Chain A
Amino acid sequence: MLQVVLYTALVLLSLSVVAGLYRIIRGPSMPDRVIALDTIGICLIGLVAVVCMLQDTTAYLDIILLMGILAFLGTVAFSKFIEKGVVMEHARNRDDHR
């Protein structure tokens, strides 16, 4: 019974990854694409957790943390880039970029 539920969850999460891909390709503005990338990252975390349960192994649990950190850092870097045009901001050349 649990196996059926897990496979259903896999299908639903894959569908939401596909929806995110559509938004990335189609998205009218840059923040749309970044939001879709963030959603795909979070859905991948769920996918990895479901695969862990299906294969009854704890080997992939590190991947969950790694995906979380990478999705967050990517979103932060992209939003700083969209907002200011730079990712790293130094105090001494702040005037050049504002």
Chain B
Amino acid sequence: MHEIGMTIVEWIIGLLVLGGALLGALSAFGLLRLPDVYTRSHAATKSTTLGVMSILLGAFLYFVAYDNYVSAKLLLGIVFVLITAPVAGHLIGRAAYKSGAPLSDRTVQDDLKHAPHTDTQLREHTDGQLPHERERQRE
């Protein structure tokens, strides 16, 4: 009975680790092949996060099954990767758009095209004052 249980655990760990590594390789393929910054960040952020989370879950199960060791560090690592990776992806996408990284030729829609995202455009859009300047005047 115990022998069968260990085999099942081994299979689960193997599937988790192999799936995670395959997701990592897939995201690297996307990083190489996709046409512009935004699609590349899409490939790099999402699938790498899921892949590393499943590898860490596999490692957690490994240490529970073979060493009877419940590792709080691995759980913390899973939570940390889950929280920080989307934040980092959002920040870098925003920085890419604001710094004017070009979109691919095949882009069909750019919702931010007419949105005021530089100071001069914002001045034209409002009454010539930026929000924080207006606040300062009120003070």
Whether A42 contacts B85 in the complex (CB less than 8 A), given A68-B80, A98-B119, comes out as yes
Classify the secondary structure of B's interface with A: helix
Chain A positions within 8 Å of B87 at CB level: 72, 76
Which chain B residues in 6-20 approach chain A with CB under 8 Å?
Answer: 10, 13-14, 17-18, 20
Specify which of B58, B95, B132 lies most central, judged by the most chain A CB atoms within 10 Å of its CB. Answer: B95
Which of B14, B22, B52, B67 is A42 in contact with, Cβ under 8 Å? B52
- Chain B window 48-73, contacts with chain A (Cβ cutoff 8 Å), 1 for yes, 0 for no: 11011001101100110011010101
Whether A94 contacts B132 in the complex (CB less than 8 A), given A46-B52, A79-B94, comes out as yes
Instruction: Give Cα distance in the complex from A72 to B86, angstroms.
Output: 10
Report which A residues bind B (CB closer than 8 A): 1-2, 5-6, 8-10, 12-13, 15-20, 22-23, 29-32, 34-36, 38-39, 42-43, 45-46, 49-50, 52-53, 56, 58, 61-62, 64-65, 68-69, 71-72, 75-76, 78-80, 82-83, 94, 98
